[in-house]
């Protein structure tokens, strides 16, 4: 029998093109990971996990500190890559790299305490002969799915606490900005020579979906819409998720505020990284008596901003927008607001040049019938609304399906804190912006549709672990225990009396005043 063989075409992986937001040209082409390869990568990581966990916190910290040092040693190249793929100016890229190093240091300092065994003294005297220990063990394989706005720190950076916890990690960076994240993983495996406990999957949403199916815990940062899909998919395998989702952060300016500081802060908090920060100021409420002066200062500040591309030396405040699709959303929000009566005081349009550029924009005469005040814009737009008093500002600030973060300005810090406690958000800064995000010692997480869980503080690490309660005898054991089989009237009497003694308070303990016990007084 003759066999005819047709020459096989080499199987070529689909290619992902990464564009420079600054001019739209192709920056790189990467082979995409298939769903089958996602599962293979997870299985390979799973094999490496027990040895990684067995290293202990100090052993794991050594490799992660090597990564921190590598980032510092390769700072110029990494910042260049981050700027090129995300369109960021130098200053915004520097924040991301600095944040990575701080994550390593903060987690290295806290993890020994957060992951330590906890010995618990039982409150029941009956159990005094047992030793109770609560042990933390990692979810073996953690998947981290990241967005494009801080593509390195919110993907590779969010994997660092999981590695501290003893988990192994598969990263899935955004398809718009995968390069710096992939470079971190390459360095981990090739330059640092760390164990093969960190890998990366490149591709579109379906690669993220395959990761959700394969891992034991999913940490997701991105839009509410995708976050809901991730949670729904993870529920099918009862896989826990933490979700860091979108926001519509309010900025409240009370009449006794330092107006100059409030205006400077509003412009920075709304326009840093082109407004593409989950905790960007997205809507501003100003008490009527100071409204005109505040608006005038904001407009002047925005007009003074420099826009463009800079290289290794800071030269501009605003770069390109990272995602071409996001410009469509920004344009839609601005146009719809104008059609409903909003006025543009500066900016308002896409810049007609190659790449993703939108003018920093200030809108007034806005209200909550407009998308720009209720949906996430995620772009360089500052809509400002005049309010009668603090009560109206608080009511409007809370009139949102989001609850990520907020800012409150007041001349009286105590009053600012009181207002902060009434805002429905996971973090609030008084007379300030970003301190809660920068301080990795406090949790950062969203309320309402802004998410589940948090990324900083001790939970940054402990959320990647499961607790295991272990009970063991403190004294030599007998052949049986009094409450094991067989039951008897004597045991019943002892148990009933014992329970009464334990649970009841006052005279009920002794079985007296049953009349009170019965009618519940
Ligand atoms: P996105 O939801 O479009 O994508 C996020 C990631 O999910 C990408 O890697 C994408 O490939 C992946 N993905 C897409 N479909 C998927 C699916 N079905 N299953 C699994 N993964 C899938 O978000 P984005 O546009 O990249 O990021 C912007 C959003 O992220 C904004 O809403 C912003 O507020 C939010 N964000 C939140 C935080 C926070 O800490 N709360 C931080 C940064 C960004």
In this prediction, residues 211-219 reach a mean pLDDT of 98
Going from the Cα of 166 to the center of ligand 1, the distance in angstroms, rounded, reads 25
Please provide the size of the chain in residues. 521
Return the best residue to mutate from 226, 227, 274, 328 for the ligand 1 pocket (most ligand atoms within 8 A of CB): 226
Q: Are 281 and 437 in contact (CB under 8 A)?
A: no
Please tell me if the CB atom of residue 147 comes closer than 6 angstroms to any atom of ligand 1: yes
Q: What is the rounded distance in angstroms from the CA atom of residue 47 to the CA atom of residue 422?
A: 48
Kindly tell me the sign of the dihedral angle through the C-alpha atoms of 375, 24, 178, 38.
positive
Q: How many CB atoms lie within 10 A of CB 62?
A: 11
Q: Are 159 and 144 in contact (CB under 8 A)?
A: yes
The upper half-sphere exposure of residue 67, i.e. CA atoms within 13 Å in the direction of its Cβ, equals 31
Please tell me if the CB atom of residue 278 comes closer than 6 angstroms to any atom of ligand 1: yes
* Atom of ligand 1 at shortest range from CA of 173: 9
Q: What is the rounded distance in angstroms from the CA atom of residue 473 to the CA atom of residue 128?
A: 9
Cα distances (angstroms) measured from residue 382 to each of 259, 274, 298, 400, 493: 16, 11, 9, 17, 72
Question: What is the structure's pLDDT at 12?
Answer: 67
Res 1 pLDDT > 70:
no
In this prediction, residues 278-300 reach a mean pLDDT of 98
Res 310 pLDDT > 70:
yes
Cα distances (angstroms) measured from residue 13 to each of 213, 328, 470, 473: 21, 30, 48, 57
User: What whole-number percentage of the chain has pLDDT above 70?
Assistant: 96
Q: Are 416 and 391 in contact (CB under 8 A)?
A: no
Q: Are 168 and 48 in contact (CB under 8 A)?
A: yes
- Residue written as token pair 């040209």: 25
* Atom of ligand 1 at shortest range from CA of 150: 43
In this prediction, residues 304-317 reach a mean pLDDT of 92
Give, using CA atoms, the residue closest to atom 13 of ligand 1: 205
Compute the mean pLDDT over every residue in the chain, rounded to the nearest whole number: 94
Question: What is the structure's pLDDT at 244?
Answer: 97
pLDDT range class, residue 515, cuts 50, 70, 90? low
Q: Which of 156, 157, 145, 159 is nearest to 209 (CA)?
A: 145
Report the range of poorest mean pLDDT among 283-287, 359-363, 502-506: 502-506
Res 6 pLDDT > 60:
no
In this prediction, residues 180-206 reach a mean pLDDT of 97
Secondary structure of residue 231 in the 3-state scheme: helix
Annotation says 265 is catalytic:
no
Report the range of poorest mean pLDDT among 46-55, 154-163, 221-230, 306-315: 306-315
Going from the Cα of 284 to the center of ligand 1, the distance in angstroms, rounded, reads 25
Question: What is the structure's pLDDT at 8?
Answer: 54
pLDDT range class, residue 399, cuts 50, 70, 90? very high
Q: How many CB atoms lie within 10 A of CB 391?
A: 11
Q: Which of 123, 466, 433, 68 is nearest to 250 (CA)?
A: 433
User: Which member of 175, 278, 375, 376 is catalytic?
Assistant: 278
Return the best residue to mutate from 219, 223, 227 for the ligand 1 pocket (most ligand atoms within 8 A of CB): 223
Going from the Cα of 157 to the center of ligand 1, the distance in angstroms, rounded, reads 15
In this prediction, residues 479-483 reach a mean pLDDT of 91
Going from the Cα of 309 to the center of ligand 1, the distance in angstroms, rounded, reads 25
pLDDT range class, residue 4, cuts 50, 70, 90? very low
User: Which member of 96, 244, 282, 376 is catalytic?
Assistant: 244
Res 3 pLDDT > 50:
no
Q: Are 198 and 160 in contact (CB under 8 A)?
A: no
Res 178 pLDDT > 90:
yes
In this prediction, residues 300-327 reach a mean pLDDT of 94
Question: What is the structure's pLDDT at 144?
Answer: 98
Q: Are 219 and 158 in contact (CB under 8 A)?
A: yes
Res 371 pLDDT > 70:
yes
Q: Which of 249, 245, 261 is nearest to 407 (CA)?
A: 249
User: What whole-number percentage of the chain has pLDDT above 90?
Assistant: 89
Question: What is the structure's pLDDT at 516?
Answer: 53
pLDDT in tens, 31-54: 999 999 999 999 999 999 999 999
């Amino acid at each position: 029998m003759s066999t005819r063989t047709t020459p096989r075409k080499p199987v070529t992986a689909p290619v992902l093109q990464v564009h420079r937001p600054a001019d739209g040209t192709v920056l790189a082409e990467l082979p995409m990971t298939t769903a089958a390869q996602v599962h293979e990568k997870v299985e390979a990581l799973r094999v490496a996990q027990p040895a990684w966990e067995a290293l202990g916190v100090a052993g794991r910290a050594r490799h992660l500190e090597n990564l921190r040092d590598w980032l510092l040693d390769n700072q110029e190249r990494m910042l260049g890559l981050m700027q090129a793929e995300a369109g960021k100016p130098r200053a915004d890229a520097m924040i991301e790299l600095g944040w990575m190093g701080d994550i390593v240091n903060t987690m290295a300092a806290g993890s020994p305490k957060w992951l330590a065994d906890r010995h618990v003294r039982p409150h029941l005297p009956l159990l005094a002969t047992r030793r109770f220990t609560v042990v933390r063990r990692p979810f073996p394989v953690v998947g981290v799915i990241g967005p494009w706005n801080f593509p390195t720190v919110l993907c590779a950076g969010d994997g660092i606490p999981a590695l501290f916890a003893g988990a192994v990690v598969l990263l899935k960076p955004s398809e718009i900005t995968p390069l710096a994240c992939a470079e971190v993983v390459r360095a981990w495996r090739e330059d640092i020579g760390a164990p093969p406990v960190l890998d990366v999957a490149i591709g579109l949403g379906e690669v993220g979906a395959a990761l959700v199916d394969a891992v034991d815990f999913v940490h997701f940062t991105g839009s509410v819409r995708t976050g809901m899909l991730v949670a729904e998919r993870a529920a099918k395998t009862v896989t826990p998720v933490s979700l860091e989702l979108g926001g519509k952060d309010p900025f409240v300016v009370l009449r006794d505020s330092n107006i100059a500081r409030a205006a400077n802060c509003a412009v920075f908090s709304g326009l840093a990284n082109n407004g593409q920060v989950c905790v960007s100021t997205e809507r501003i409420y100003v008490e009527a008596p100071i409204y005109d002066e505040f608006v005038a200062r904001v407009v002047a500040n925005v007009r003074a901003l420099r826009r463009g591309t800079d290289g290794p030396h800071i030269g501009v405040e605003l770069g390109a927008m990272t995602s071409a699709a996001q410009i469509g959303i920004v344009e839609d929000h601005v146009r719809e607001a104008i059609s409903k009566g909003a006025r543009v005081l500066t900016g308002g349009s896409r810049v007609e040049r190659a790449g993703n550029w939108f003018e920093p924009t200030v809108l007034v005469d806005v209200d909550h019938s407009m998308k720009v005040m209720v949906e996430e814009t995620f772009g360089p737009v500052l809509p400002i609304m005049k309010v009668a008093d603090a009560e109206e500002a608080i009511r409007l600030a809370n009139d949102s399906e989001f609850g990520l973060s907020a800012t409150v300005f007041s001349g009286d810090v105590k009053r600012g804190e009181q207002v902060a406690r009434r805002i429905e958000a996971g973090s609030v800064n008084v007379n300030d912006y970003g301190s809660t995000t920068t301080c990795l010692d406090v949790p950062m997480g969203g309320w309402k549709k802004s998410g589940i869980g948090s990324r900083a503080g001790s939970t940054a690490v402990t959320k990647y672990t499961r607790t295991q309660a272990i009970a063991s005898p403190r004294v030599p054991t007998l052949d049986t225990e009094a409450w094991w089989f067989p039951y008897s009237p004597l045991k019943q009497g002892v148990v009933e009396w014992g329970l009464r003694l334990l649970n009841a308070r006052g005279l009920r303990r002794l079985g007296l005043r049953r009349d009170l016990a019965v009618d519940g007084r």
